[in-house]
């Protein structure tokens, strides 16, 4: 039996003080007043005790393995290095996002080639049979103008290598790039094409059909795999997504669309970096505004894992959002959306003991302890 005492225990509905959190056999045994002797005692010293974060959309691994076009590091080395970073940022379950692009408008990236996406997915599956620090998952992002993703996704799901899929459309003039000026700044200058030629190409390209996307969604659901849409910008697009059977609306472009997504029963995802920056780097919806308008269920790291922890406390201190409500956006809500909430996402009896102890120093939140499956995987103390 492990006892974590003297902390502020963050449950889905409240912050509990004056009680201990008990762990046995890697799971949460109870939250109660405890006056017996535990095998191990962790003193939280008045800090927050909260569940480990669940990150449903994260690009971090790309930058670790392929930080520059000509610098490519060993895949397993990259995975082992990145989990050390993610652990200290509070992320105990991560859905690594791998994109399957067709064109090179955004530049060439080794990690977006099908053979390497497959290789990473196989490594993620295999790593759980060996020593590892956190729970790794594969989020397969399907760019719908890459017709090859239809067979790739079917094959990878058949091999049980995928835990989440999302449909993406980065065609200029809609979605994330409704503003063509933003798109022009984002595309690679090394493609050898003028901006006009790039736009002309997008006008005539083929895309996955409605029937193909619906079939992929049905296969995913038969395997309890969550399906997301990406950069929804109209109510009409949401209606199509509902017909396809999508579960999550990632990064809705406007408050109006986010509210409509909620009405239709989608989980809505916003990026935590958006909160730290004070708005979207693409000029789209403010994540903070979406939270305050009750149309953002989940915070993800997107491209900056450090943001998840900081976003919780910014929204609490600056905007008055209660800590339990913010914590749910990085724990229980993503667990529900990805269908793992029976075991993960909250400090409740019987669930896996993925636990963080969080302090605040100089106005910034810091993580001093991380437990995964009840084992202490990180321990840090700040000094003067």
On the 0-12 / 13-18 / 19+ scale of CB atoms within 10 A, 235 is middle
Q: Which residues pair with 355 in a beta bridge?
A: 51, 371
Contact present, 135 and 92 (Cβ < 8 Å): yes
Is 323 a residue whose pLDDT tops 70?
yes
The 10s digit of each residue's pLDDT in 211-259 is 999 999 999 999 999 999 999 999 999 999 999 999 999 999 999 999 9
Residue 114 pLDDT grade (very low, low, confident, very high; cuts 50, 70, 90)? confident
> Which stretches of the chain are DSSP H helices?
60-65, 75-88, 114-127, 149-158, 180-186, 195-204, 210-222, 235-244, 255-263, 272-277, 287-292, 307-319, 323-328, 332-337
Instruction: Quickly name the fold that domain 2-49+348-379 has.
Output: Urease, subunit C; domain 1 (2.30.40)
The domain ranges of the chain are: 2-49+348-379, 53-337
Rounded-to-integer distance, Cα 83 and Cα 102, Å: 29
Residue owning tokens 């736009």: 199
- From CA 26, how far away is CA 35, in angstroms rounded? 21
Q: Which residue has the tokens 């397969």?
A: 140
Residues 6 or more apart whose Cβ sits within 8 Å of residue 89: 53, 301, 305, 306, 308, 309, 367
Q: To which CATH superfamily is domain 53-337 assigned?
A: Metal-dependent hydrolases (3.20.20.140)
* Eight-state DSSP code of residue 52: P
This prediction's pTM: 0.90
Instruction: Give the per-residue pLDDT at 359.
Output: 97
Strand, helix or coil for residue 117: helix
Same fold, 2-49+348-379 and 53-337: no
Mean pLDDT computed over 60-87: 92
Kindly state the helix (H) or strand (E) to which residue 164 belongs, with its residue range: strand 164-168
């Amino acid at each position: 039996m492990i006892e974590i005492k003297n902390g502020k225990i963050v449950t889905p509905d409240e912050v509990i003080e004056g009680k201990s959190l008990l762990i046995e056999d890697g799971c949460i045994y109870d939250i109660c007043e405890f006056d017996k002797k535990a095998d191990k005692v962790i003193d939280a010293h008045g800090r927050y005790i909260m569940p480990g974060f669940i990150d449903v959309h994260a690009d971090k691994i790309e930058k670790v393995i392929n930080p520059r076009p000509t610098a490519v590091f060993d895949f397993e080395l990259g995975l082992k290095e990145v989990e050390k970073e993610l652990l200290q940022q509070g992320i105990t379950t991560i859905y690594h996002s791998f994109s399957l692009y067709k064109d090179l408008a955004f530049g060439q990236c080794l990690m977006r080639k099908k053979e390497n996406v497959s290789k990473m997915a196989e490594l993620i599956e295999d790593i759980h049979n060996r020593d590892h620090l956190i729970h790794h998952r594969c989020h397969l992002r399907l760019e719908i103008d890459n017709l090859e993703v239809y067979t790739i996704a079917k094959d990878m799901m058949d091999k049980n290598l995928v835990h989440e899929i999302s449909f993406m459309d980065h065609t200029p003039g809609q979605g994330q790039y409704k503003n063509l000026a933003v798109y022009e700044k984002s595309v690679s200058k090394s493609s050898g094409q003028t901006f006009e030629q790039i736009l002309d190409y997008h006008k005539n390209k083929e895309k996955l059909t409605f029937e193909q996307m619906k079939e992929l969604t049905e296969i995913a659901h038969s395997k309890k795999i969550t399906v997301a849409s990406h950069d929804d910008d109209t109510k009409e697009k949401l209606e199509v997504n509902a017909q396809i059977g999508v579960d999550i609306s990632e990064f809705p472009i406007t408050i109006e669309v986010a509210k409509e997504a909620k009405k239709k029963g989608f989980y809505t995802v916003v990026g935590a970096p958006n909160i730290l920056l004070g708005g979207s780097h693409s000029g789209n919806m403010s994540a903070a505004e979406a939270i305050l308008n009750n149309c953002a269920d989940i915070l993800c790291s997107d491209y900056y894992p450090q943001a998840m922890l900081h976003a919780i406390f910014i929204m609490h201190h600056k905007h008055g959002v209660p800590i339990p409500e913010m914590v749910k956006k990085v724990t229980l809500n993503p667990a529900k959306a990805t269908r793992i909430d029976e075991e993960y996402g909250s400090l409740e009896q019987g669930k896996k003991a993925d636990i963080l102890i969080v302090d605040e120093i100089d106005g910034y939140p810091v993580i001093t302890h991380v437990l995964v499956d009840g084992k202490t995987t990180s321990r840090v103390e700040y000094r003067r």
